[in-house]
């Protein structure tokens, strides 16, 4: 079954309008990306308008219909690019406006003399360039880095840009060699590809936004709200992975912390002061443990720090530094101004203590000894 060119135009317009409506609908569920989704929905609407003008370009005088169609299409692609650039923060529109003005000037100066060449070939080049820039922007974007749908979004924009690059550079050579009878074929192939793009482009961008939102929810589920540290779930997920990936001869240590008499602090100074003490300890522990450490809040006033690459001696120094710095910061007049200390248990991973649960249990036993011995001290777990 063959589909005529007019049917393909109508099909493209329909898919673009549906894509615009779905993107606007999705915008309500993702307020953080409402701006980007609104821009992409607007791009689909501009594409649809460009298709309508293209179908009726013969009603316009001279090259006006072709020029207006090309400008609308390029505007839509620039909006897609702007939405992609906005994923990492506010993006400027000055460059896009200048590019659109330059294209309009080019049509005004030469388009009316070479309307067929401009419509069939030259008009494809700014589209190819804009799609290539969109693919490059998505490839470099920090916000969507690591998302499974990013390579697909990059491939859709890059593939679409490559198609128009071939149309602008290779198609003229083929027409010159085999005659203008190829132009209707190129037109139909272009419309087939346009239908695919009008579906794939919004789908990939919606996938990016949804996957980003899901990743943020998962990160929130693994993060303690008060301190910003990983919570117990995040500790066992990341800590287990860190231990599984360690080299056999690389040392690993775990520090378990329990703030001393924390209930008394809450009872005497109030829960707001208690929260301030917890947040202060989290900041001190994170800074003193170093960037490679996994510092977590296990629950209540209990914390832990997994120290890759550090044996018992180095880990002991880290634990003592954290306890000292925390006590000084808590008592300081610029801090909570509360006398607060912490007890610490230390356990080192070994051949018989390589799983995270066993390591935490050993550190907890050492922590109990520290509390039983008078608190505000560090105890080391016996060798497994």
Does domain 232-380 fall under CATH 3.90.79.10? My reply is: no
**Which residue in this structure is represented by tokens 């050492």?**
366
pLDDT for the residue numbered 352: 58
Instruction: Return phi, psi of residue 56, to 5°.
Output: -120, 25
Q: Is the pTM for the entire model greater than 0.85?
A: no
* Sequential DSSP letters for 53-117: HHHTGGGSSTTHHHHHHHHHHHHHHHHHHHHHHGGGS----HHHHHHHHHHHHHIIIIITTSHHH
- Please name the CATH architecture into which domain 5-221 falls: Up-down Bundle (1.20)
Residue numbers of the chain with a pLDDT score lower than 50: 1
Angle ∠(209,211,217) on CA atoms, nearest 5:
105
Note the pLDDT of residue 166: 93
Instruction: Kindly list the domain boundaries of the chain, sorted by start residue.
Output: 5-221, 232-380
Contacts 24+ apart (CB under 8 A), 368-373: 369/345, 370/343, 370/344, 370/345, 371/258, 371/260, 371/343
> Could you tell me how many residues make up the chain?
384
DSSP letter, residue 32: G
User: Helix 34-55 crosses helix 183-221 at what angle (to 10 degrees)?
Assistant: 170
Q: How would you class 318 by CB atoms within 10 Å of its CB: exposed for 0-12, middle for 13-18, buried for 19 or more?
A: buried
Beta bridge partners of 257: 303, 344
Contact 285, 304 (CB under 8 A): no
What's the pLDDT score for residue 354? 64
HSE-up of residue 271 (Cα within 13 Å, Cβ side) = 2
CA–CA dist 77, 123 (Å, integer) = 13
């Amino acid at each position: 079954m063959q589909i005529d060119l007019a049917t393909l135009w109508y099909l493209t317009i329909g898919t673009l309008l549906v894509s615009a409506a779905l993107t606007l609908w999705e915008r309500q569920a993702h307020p953080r990306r409402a701006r980007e989704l609104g821009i992409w929905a607007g791009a689909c609407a501009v594409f649809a308008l460009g298709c309508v003008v293209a179908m009726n370009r013969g009603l316009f005088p001279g090259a006006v219909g072709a020029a207006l169609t090309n400008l609308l299409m390029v505007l839509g692609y620039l909006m897609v690019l702007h939405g992609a650039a906005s994923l990492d923060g506010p993006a400027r529109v000055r460059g896009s406006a200048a590019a659109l003005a330059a294209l309009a000037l080019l049509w005004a100066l030469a388009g009316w003399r070479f309307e067929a060449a401009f419509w069939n070939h030259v008009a494809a080049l700014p589209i190819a360039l804009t799609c290539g820039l969109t693919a490059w922007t998505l490839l470099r974007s920090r916000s969507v880095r690591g998302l499974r749908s990013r390579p697909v979004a990059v491939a859709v924009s890059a593939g679409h840009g490559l198609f128009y690059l071939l149309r602008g550079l290779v198609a003229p050579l083929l027409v010159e060699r085999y005659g203008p009878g190829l132009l209707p074929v190129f037109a139909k192939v272009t419309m087939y590809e346009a239908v695919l793009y009008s579906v794939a482009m919004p789908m990939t961008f919606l996938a990016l936004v949804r996957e980003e939102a899901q990743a943020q929810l998962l990160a929130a589920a693994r993060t303690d709200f008060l301190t910003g540290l990983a919570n117990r779930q995040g500790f066992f997920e990341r800590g287990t992975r860190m231990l599984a990936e360690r080299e056999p001869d690389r040392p690993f240590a775990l520090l378990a912390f329990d703030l001393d008499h924390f209930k008394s602090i809450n009872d005497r100074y109030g829960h707001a002061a208690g929260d301030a003490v917890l947040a202060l300890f989290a900041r001190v522990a994170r800074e003193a443990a170093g960037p490679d450490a996994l510092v977590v809040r296990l629950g209540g006033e209990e914390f832990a720090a997994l120290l890759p690459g550090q044996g018992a001696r180095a880990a002991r120094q880290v634990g003592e530094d954290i306890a000292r710095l925390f006590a000084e910061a808590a008592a300081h007049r610029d801090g909570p101004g509360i006398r607060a200390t912490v007890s610490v248990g230390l356990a080192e991973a070994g051949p018989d203590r390589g799983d995270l649960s066993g390591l935490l249990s050993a550190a907890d036993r050492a922590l109990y000894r520290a509390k039983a011995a008078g608190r505000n001290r560090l105890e080391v777990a016996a060798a497994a």
